[in-house]
Amino acid sequence: MRLVLIAFVAMVASSISHVAVAQSIEEKAAVCAGCHGENGKPVSPEIPVLWGQKEGYIYLQLRDLKRGDRKHEIMSGIAAGLEKTDMQELAKYFSEKPWINLQQKSADAPTASQAQQVASSAQCEGCHLSGYLGDSTIPRLAGQSETYLLKTMSEFRSGARANNAWMVTLLKSYSDSDIAALSKYIAGL
């Protein structure tokens, strides 16, 4: 599945970066649907929900992927072909779509309790805001794919995702169990 996706995306990314004719935002966004879902539901739980995500956050991630501050086997190639205005338009386009409910189950009480204690200590809602709904450059986490949340937090912790030093530092002090609880809890909100 992954190899097929990579091949597909690499092909389309190549077409974005080499076709200079004016494209509509829908055309520009078409490549994204291959992974992030035509109707906003990603094709794999490892891929984040993009519809309804925060505009500033999407823009900064694309910018960082292009700069190389964030690395991803598929997205780095796609972002490399984008100009700043493309990134801004894509960010606006996806942020204006409705958030997709993945129908993930709520965490059970002990897991929720563990997650809330970690979140209180780390002051997560100080940035991600009440209900983990995010704003501007801070992503919405509530209802995001549990697998993606776990993967992302693990990558911050290992330093594999390095475009937010604060998240790296913060997550290093939490255990596998803490991160798993947080992922389950936040995904189920």
Partner 1 sequence: MTSFKFGTLSIGAAALLAGVLGASIATKAGDEIKNATKFGNMNSVTQDLLNRAGGDGNNFLLTNGDYTQSRYFPNKQINVSNVSKLRPAWVFQTEVKDSMETSPIVVNGIMYVTTSFDHVYALDARTGEELWHYKQKLGPITTYCCGPNNRGVAVYEDMVYLATLDAKLVALDAKTGKQVWETQVADPELGYSETMAPTAVKGKILVGTNGGEYGIRGFVKAFDAKTGKNLWTFNTVPESSVGVWATNDATGRDMHRDIAAEKAALAKNGDPYKTLGGGVWQNPAVDLDTNRIYFVVGNPSPDLDGSLRPGDNLYTDSLVSVDLDTGKYVCHFQYIAHDVWDMDAVSPPAIVKVADKDGKMIKGVIHGGKTGHIYVHDAKDCSLIRFSEAMVPQENMWVLPTKDGARMLPGANGGVEWSPLATNPSLGLAYAINLHQPMTYHVESSAYPAGKLWLGGAFKIIPTEEQWGNVTAVDYNTGKIKWQVKTQQPMIGGILATAGGLVFTGESNGQFEAFDAETGAALWKFQAGAGVNAPPSSYSVDGKQYVVVAAGGNAQVDSKRGNSIIAFTAD
Which residues sit at the interface with partner 1, rule CB under 8 A? Answer: 55-56, 59-60, 69, 88, 91-92, 95, 117, 120-123, 125-127, 129-130, 135-137, 163-166, 168-170, 172-173
The residue among 9 and 128 lying less far from partner 1, judged by its C-beta, is: 128
Least distance to partner 1 from the beta carbon of 68, Å?
12
The residue among 43 and 129 lying less far from partner 1, judged by its C-beta, is: 129
Contact 132, 140 (CB under 8 A): yes
The residue among 45 and 56 lying less far from partner 1, judged by its C-beta, is: 56
Contact 106, 188 (CB under 8 A): yes
The residue among 15 and 173 lying less far from partner 1, judged by its C-beta, is: 173
Residue type, 41: K
Whole-number Å distance between alpha carbons of 86 and 61: 13
| Token pair recorded at residue 8 | 């597909």
Least distance to partner 1 from the beta carbon of 39, Å?
24
The residue among 9 and 62 lying less far from partner 1, judged by its C-beta, is: 62
Least distance to partner 1 from the beta carbon of 89, Å?
11
| Token pair recorded at residue 184 | 């389950």
72 burial via Cβ count (<10 Å: 0-12, 13-18, 19+): middle
DSSP state of 45: T
Least distance to partner 1 from the beta carbon of 161, Å?
13
Whole-number Å distance between alpha carbons of 138 and 127: 7
Least distance to partner 1 from the beta carbon of 5, Å?
28
